[in-house]
Structures are given as C-alpha cells and as structure tokens.
Structure 1
C-alpha cells in the first residue's frame, strides 16, 4: 500500500518548465495577471484608445479658408451638428433605427415564441437553420439582391402586376416621405432591407429569453382565468423583456451606424453612416466626421440608461 501511494506522487519536474509550473501553482494571481494582460491591453489600447482618439478629433475644427485641421480645443464642430442639414441627418437616422427596431420586435416575437414553445426536434433544428442561414451569406450580396428584388423590373413588381395591385404600390410610392421613384429608391425599400438584415439579431435573443419562461407559469395564469392577452402582458412579456432589450440593442445600434444599405437602397438623403463616410473621405472634414460618430454613442447611452430605469436589466 505504501509503495502504491509513493508511486502515485509524480516526480518533480526539472528545468524552466518545472520552475514556472511551481511558481504559477504558488502564485495563482500572477498566472491570472499574465492571462488577462494581453486582452486587457488590446481592449484598452486598440479599442478604447481609438475611441478616445476619435473623441479628441471631434473637439478640433476645420479652417474654412485653408481646409486644414486646427488642433485647438473648441466646441465649434459640435455646434455644426445643430445646423439644419446635419440635424436632419441625425433625426432621420434615429427615426429609421427606432422604426426598424419596433418592426423587428413585432415580427420576431411570434417567430421566437413558436420556436420556444412548440418547435421540437428536427423542427427546432430547422428553425435555427432558417434564422442563421441569411447570416452565412455576404452582407453586400444580400443588399444587392434586395435592390434587384425592389427595382421596377424586380420580382416584387412583377408579382404585384400579376395580382393587379400595381395601383396600390404606385399610391404608396406617391406618398411624400416613404415614397419615391421605386421601392429601391425610397425609404420604404431602405426600411425593408434593414428589417431583413437585422431580424436574426432580434429573433435569437428573444427565443433564448422565451425558452427560460416556465411553462407552469403560463398554465397557472390560464387556470386562474386570465385571458391570453392578460397572460402575455403580465407573465410572458415581462420575462421576455431582457431578450427583447438585448435584440433591440443590436438592431437599433446596427441601424444607427450602417451606411451601406442607405447608399445602395434608398434616396439621396443621407444617414449618419453616410455623413461620416463622406466627411472622412471625400470632404476631408475629419472633426465633423468624428462628431457625427459620437452621436450614435450618445444615443445608445441614453437608450441603455432608459432601459435600466425601466428595469429591463433586472432579470438578466
């Protein structure tokens, strides 16, 4: 027995590897420091450092005569955001992001609820495949495909013509704000593409939250005489709210910063992402581009603050 116990004790390793192993075992905090230092440096220098550099650029200004950046602290660039044309860009982008987020929640909730409550086995696998499949294809391919679908010669116009509903589409496109020459050159087309591209980012968090809703609570609510609307309002929705907030953060923030979809599908009126791209590249007004990029950060900060005040993060 003593010989067996003695053989179970491994001999001490020699050399540098053995010394390091002993040092890490005696000082686990030092090992944790070595493991965390690279990602913390990456986060602090590359990510946060670039954000602070961007914020610093927004406090500079452009000399109107020479077009050169004046490296002097000023709030002049932020004042330019309140000019009519720039304020219009900000309001247009925030409104589009809010509408896309609300529409994504309305479309995603029944899909996620069905997958969480009723889909089993191969049908649940089919659900995940159907939701994830659009994410596997190229972002640009999806946007250009939708441009072809929404064009005057696209399949959607062809289908409406076969159903003798062209008059309805023309009436919609004649509206002053949402309309345009065609769906591919209108805010309606921009909204549809935004909704399609970001919808999986709303469905998956909602489905995960609804999976955690206990079935016995729903059944107890029904047994106590609650109508389906009351069960949804008092049981299902509060428990699914963290997933809804998580999905809305994705859809709202992604819509705020995107510039490719409005550039390909939409009117000539700019969004924040397009304004940043133009001022950074074509116009060369880096301070104004930096000030525009601060806007989504501030908007998302207020959004998260409001969600926290409403208790949306309490169940997370």
Structure 2
C-alpha cells in the first residue's frame, strides 16, 4: 500500500532535479526575490532612460555657451540660470505659467458639473456612453485634433460662420480687438491657444473628479439633508471638500501638460514663445543646449512644488 502511495505521490509531484528545480525552489522559498526580478527590467529602464537623462539634462544646465565661439563651456557655473532672469526669458516663463493656470482653472469649472452628473446620476448604458464620450477624443491623433481646431478657429472657419449667422460678428471682433488676448483671428491669438488647450486636456480633469465624487458616501449627503442643510450648504460642506482631492489630481495633469506643451502654441497662437517652444528653439535652432536645459528645469521645479502641495491635500488618493 505504501509503495502505491509513494508511486502516486511521485507521479503527482515529480522530483525536479537540475538547476531549474533548484531555481524554482529558491523562488518559492524567497518570494521577494521573484518580485525583485520581475521589477528589475522596469527599474533599470526607469533608472537609466528617465532618471539618467534627467540627470544629464540637469548637468547640462550648469554649463554655459561661449559668446565668441558659440561652443559649450564645460565648467560649472550659474551663468545660464542667471540668463533666465532676463526680461524676455521671464516673460516666457510667466506667460506659460499664466496659461497653464488659466487652463487648469477653466477645466475644473467646466469638468466639475459633467463629472458630478456622471457620478451621481448616470447609470448603466448612460455611464458607458459617458466614458465613451470622454475617452473618444483621446483615441484621435493629437496633431489631427490640433490642426482641426486650426481650421475651426480660422477666419474662414465654422466658428466665424456661426457668429455671422447669429449676427454676433461685432462681439467676436470686439473680443479680438483686446490688446493681450486678441489678434487677427482666433487661430492666431492667446484665446485660440487657450481653447485648444482646454479641449485637449479636459478629459484628464473630468475622470479624477468623477472618481472622487463617486467615493463620496451617499449617507453623508442624506445625513446633511436630514440635519436641515440646504443643497448649497451640502455641496460646500460635504461634497466639495471630499471631491477636492480629485480636482487637485486632475489639475496635476492639466497644469503639467500645458506647462510643457510646445506643439499647440506652435500651430495655434501668436509668435510669442512658451517654455516648450523656448526649449525647442534653443536646443535645435540656436544650439544653446545649456539654456534649453535651464528652461526645462523650470517646469520640473514648478511641478515639484505643485506635487508637494497636492500630496498634502491628499490628491494622490484620488488618482
């Protein structure tokens, strides 16, 4: 009987020999080693390609350009960072930060009602339709969307045609005559740049807010109503504080993506530079790699401070 049991046991669990069996036993006894080996390729890629290139970029920003020869002077200096304080460079930084802040604020104001309706009232096929409507623009080519908006905002575009049909051309002309945000047409103005940024990055604001609102317990809203709070008081005292981490989480995406984008301002807007365009111009056209690297450090520092504040507000819990 014992012989039969031994033979059946060996048939079910055969004795693995050789280095493969030893290696399998080692992984079984040390699961942390298995996890480490699985993560090792990703860690190497992140460490070498991302962190390594970031360190190389930071290193380049401490070099300078020789004004006579145009060659890079490989001596550590803060001269390149001092060039960021020049008025024309400060204008680029300020212009980009203001645009990123305006896009983030407008995205939050528009996205919140949409996300609230989807989280509180959409059910079944309507919720699936909501996700499809939000995600569908992300499936289209980035350049196709930007060039499509170029045609929409042009003088001969559909938006101008709509204003003509509504006999509101005077209103559009009055808006375009404003000194800073206006221009010859929407396609070559800061207003047009703002609208395209708003359209392209809006889904990244809606989804985190919708996820945060869905986590608000219904019993808290019911309790607020039972205690005599008005709908407005319930919104400001219950819903908004609990949805705020989602707003901050969405703002991380919209603010950072606007801060570093250079294609939209290149295609739509004025000839004034944003940070992304300045990096592209100094690295490609001017060949001033140290100044391009210094410009690149600016968004990193801004986003570092922004992420630190977002973490303190619990925004990463809503990601």
Which secondary structure state, in structure 2, belongs to the residue aligned with residue 99 of structure 1?
A: helix
Q: In the alignment, does 2:102 pair up with 1:99?
A: yes
**Gap change, CA 1:165 and 1:314, over 3 Å in 2:** closer
- Once the two structures are TM-superposed, the CA of residue 6 in structure 1 deviates from its matched residue by 7.2
Could you tell me which residue of structure 2 aligns to residue 271 of structure 1?
274
Could you tell me which residue of structure 2 aligns to residue 193 of structure 1?
196
**Gap change, CA 1:190 and 1:220, over 3 Å in 2:** same
Q: In the alignment, does 2:177 pair up with 1:182?
A: no
Deviations 1:152-187 (A, max 9, x none): 000000010000000000000000011000000100
- Please give the alpha-carbon distance, in whole angstroms, between the structure 2 residues aligned to 1:190 and 1:145: 13
- Please give the alpha-carbon distance, in whole angstroms, between the structure 2 residues aligned to 1:295 and 1:91: 11
Deviations 1:79-105 (A, max 9, x none): 000100000000000000000000000
**Gap change, CA 1:163 and 1:313, over 3 Å in 2:** closer
Could you tell me which residue of structure 1 aligns to residue 65 of structure 2?
62
Contact 2:104 2:254 survives alignment (8 Å):
yes
Q: Which runs of 4+ in 1 moved over 6 A?
A: none
- Once the two structures are TM-superposed, the CA of residue 315 in structure 1 deviates from its matched residue by 5.4
- Once the two structures are TM-superposed, the CA of residue 240 in structure 1 deviates from its matched residue by 1.0
Which secondary structure state, in structure 2, belongs to the residue aligned with residue 120 of structure 1?
A: coil
Q: In the alignment, does 2:165 pair up with 1:162?
A: yes
List runs of 5+ in structure 2 lacking aligned partners: none
**Gap change, CA 1:232 and 1:34, over 3 Å in 2:** same
- Once the two structures are TM-superposed, the CA of residue 308 in structure 1 deviates from its matched residue by 3.8
1:9-88 matches, cutoff 5 A: 9-88=12-91
TM-score, structure 1 normalization: 0.96
Could you tell me which residue of structure 2 aligns to residue 7 of structure 1?
8
Equivalent of 1:208 in 197, 207, 211:
211
List runs of 5+ in structure 1 lacking aligned partners: none
Q: Once superposed, what is the RMSD of the aligned Cα atoms?
A: 1.7
- Once the two structures are TM-superposed, the CA of residue 314 in structure 1 deviates from its matched residue by 8.2
- Please give the alpha-carbon distance, in whole angstroms, between the structure 2 residues aligned to 1:84 and 1:51: 27
